Amino acid sequence: MVDFLFRIAPNLERLWPELLTCLEQTFIMLAVAGTIAWFLGVATGVVLVTTRRGGILENRGIFTFTDRAIDIIRSIPFIILIVLLIPLSRLIVGTGSGVTGSFVALVFGTVPFFARQIEQVLSEVDGGLVEASEAMGLTPLEIITGVYLKESIPGITRVTMITFVSLVGITAIAGAIGAGGLGDFAIRYGYQMGYRDMIWITVFVILAIISIFQFFGNLIIRRTKH
């Protein structure tokens, strides 16, 4: 198998160690930024659903602020957002470049997109279940965890898969401007040095990562769908 890859991608044998390093960097970005963005996205989606008009924690001020903030951040192209957030990255993680410096921008670039999808998923929960839970005397936290989130596991998994694909894409953009990872590898060797086989290898690796993630996501959906 390895010999076959080296035949169809003649530059791979020489660049194999570099590819593995960049793959590791991409995994780090996906793991760290993805985990933080997932929890913040779910929390933000919950805030949007519970504080809107008629929500169990109705609060017009919090809802309006959160809603507008998401719209503003989503409207900024990611490559510009990275530059704008360099000072904040330096403040939070101590650097504005490299893999570590990309975490803040990746989180900011992912959370608004994910939060909107979580809002949509939670909005589809049967209102009768929520009303029944309130009538039973459940606290808002119990309703959020026991009704909204529990009933939405398949939907949350589905939008997580969609967001993961988007996150892989923006890690490539981050890599193209100095954050490392597969995007940086493809730009340096595939574009700047003209090794077209390295572009195809990078695309293949990214497709493999996405396919594996989607396989496990679909498995969770099948096992949790009512």
Determine how many CB atoms are found less than 10 A away from the CB of residue 184. 23
Is 13 within the bounds of a domain? no
Determine how many CB atoms are found less than 10 A away from the CB of residue 60. 10
Both tokens assigned to 197: 């086989």
Please tell me the distance from the alpha carbon of residue 114 to that of residue 121, in angstroms, as a whole number.
11
Is 14 within the bounds of a domain? no
For 77-90, the pLDDT digits (tens) are 888 888 888 899 89
Is 7 within the bounds of a domain? no
Is 171 within the bounds of a domain? yes
pLDDT class for 7, splitting at 50, 70, 90? low
pLDDT class for 31, splitting at 50, 70, 90? very high
pLDDT score, position 108 = 93
Instruction: Give how many domains the chain has, as a whole number.
Output: 1
Is 5 within the bounds of a domain? no
Task: Read off the CATH number of the domain in which 107 is found.
Answer: 1.10.3720.10
Is 64 within the bounds of a domain? yes
For 50-64, the pLDDT digits (tens) are 999 988 999 999 999
Q: What is the extent of the structural domain holding 56?
A: 21-224
User: Which residue blocks in 52-152 are alpha helix, DSSP H?
Assistant: 60-74, 78-84, 86-93, 98-123, 127-135, 140-143, 150-151
